[in-house]
């Protein structure tokens, strides 16, 4: 049974959960409700063993997410804004989510939308998608991790350029910068993303979790600490039945069947 949300649609496709931000008339801008519902949806999917991968997308063919809901900024005090941002963050919930999360970017991916995509593990873009951090044009700066995650992903020079100019770039340029993993024709976006998501969802959930955690550590620690943590996470995989199954299946020349145990 799909969960019921006001601003989201959550669907299950095999072992993949598809979360669609559903405010197309507002270009799927993230208001407080959408952020809360997004975090709640992830909370529901976190311990659901039937879900191996989560995909985020936007409703309609114009926008993935056109940013924070600017209407909510009007008249807001600094203290209220701080409370909103220090509350339960959707971006942090994605970052901390123990399963892979993929952004399926189908149009404008701006501001908080780009930050949401950056918090995901992989980004697949349609040829018609566009990307940017246009906050500077509103007299503000990215506040959902954009200055940090974009810089770590594409380097300081290009991140600085995008953030200082507020320029919007097309999907091919985003691919060249390493901001997205893949660009596909708009008509193929869903099938290609689902194909990738399903392929990942067949792997051991335990190994996926350890892999995500290990890679995330790389940009948050020094090399010695990262290498040390990698060894711990690698060794932890040896406590799983999935590791026994993976090794056994290889030796028996068959496809492994992972159970997430
Ligand atoms: N917050 C709130 N409302 C937004 C929004 C946002 N980030 N982005 C779009 N909308 C709303 C528009 O206000 C408009 O509402 P209305 O029909 O009630 O007037 C509706 O969505 C459609 O937007 P429109 O600008 O007419 O669509 P478009 O297809 O011509 O342009 C964008 C799309 C995304 C280029 C343009 O809407 C835009 O620049 N949005 C703001 C992007 C931004 O600065 N994001 C960073 C926020 S921190």
Q: Given phi > 0 = left and psi -120 to 50 = alpha, else beta, which region is 124?
A: beta
pTM metric for this prediction: 0.96
With beta carbons less than 8 A apart as the criterion, state whether 147 and 163 touch: yes
pLDDT digit string (tens) for the chain, length 261 residues: 456 899 999 999 999 999 999 999 999 999 999 999 999 999 999 999 999 999 999 999 999 999 999 999 998 899 988 888 887 789 999 999 999 999 999 999 999 999 999 999 999 999 999 999 999 999 999 999 999 999 999 999 999 999 999 999 999 999 999 999 999 999 999 999 999 999 999 999 999 999 999 999 999 999 999 999 999 999 999 999 999 999 999 999 999 999 999
- Regarding the beta carbon of 177 and ligand 1, being less than 6 Å apart is answered no
Report which of 100, 106, 102 is spatially closest to residue 183, judged by C-alpha positions.
106
Rg (CA), the chain: 19
Tokens 């999935």 identify what position?
242
Residue whose CA lies nearest to ligand 1 atom number 32: 66
> Candidates 7, 22, 27: which one to mutate for ligand 1, based on the most atoms within 8 Å of Cβ?
27
Residue 85's pLDDT is: 84
Cα separation of 55 and 2, whole Å? 15
Q: Tokens representing 64? A: 């993935």
């Amino acid at each position: 049974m799909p969960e019921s949300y006001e601003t989201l649609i959550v669907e299950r496709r095999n072992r993949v959960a598809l979360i669609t931000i559903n405010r197309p008339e507002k270009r799927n801008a993230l208001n407080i409700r959408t952020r809360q519902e997004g975090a709640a949806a992830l909370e529901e999917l976190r311990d659901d063993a039937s879900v191996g991968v989560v995909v985020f997308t936007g409703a309609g063919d114009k926008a993935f997410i056109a940013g924070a809901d600017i209407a909510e900024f009007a008249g807001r005090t600094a203290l209220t804004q701080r409370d909103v941002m220090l509350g339960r963050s959707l971006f942090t919930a994605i970052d901390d989510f123990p399963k892979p999360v993929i952004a399926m970017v189908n149009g404008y991916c701006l501001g908080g939308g780009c930050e949401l995509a950056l918090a995901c593990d992989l980004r697949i873009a349609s040829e018609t998608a566009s990307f940017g951090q246009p906050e500077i044009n509103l007299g503000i700066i990215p506040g959902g991790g954009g200055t940090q995650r974009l810089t770590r992903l594409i380097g300081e020079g290009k991140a600085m350029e995008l953030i200082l100019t507020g320029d919007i770039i097309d999907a091919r340029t985003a691919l060249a910068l390493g901001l997205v993993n893949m660009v596909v024709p708009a008509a193929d976006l869903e099938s290609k993303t689902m194909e990738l998501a399903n392929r990942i969802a067949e792997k051991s959930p335990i190994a996926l979790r350890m892999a995500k955690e290990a890679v995330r550590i790389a940009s948050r620690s020094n090399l010695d600490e990262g290498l040390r943590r990698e060894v711990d996470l690698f060794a932890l995989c040896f406590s799983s039945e999935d590791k026994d199954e993976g090794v056994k299946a290889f030796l028996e020349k068959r496809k492994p069947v992972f159970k997430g145990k």
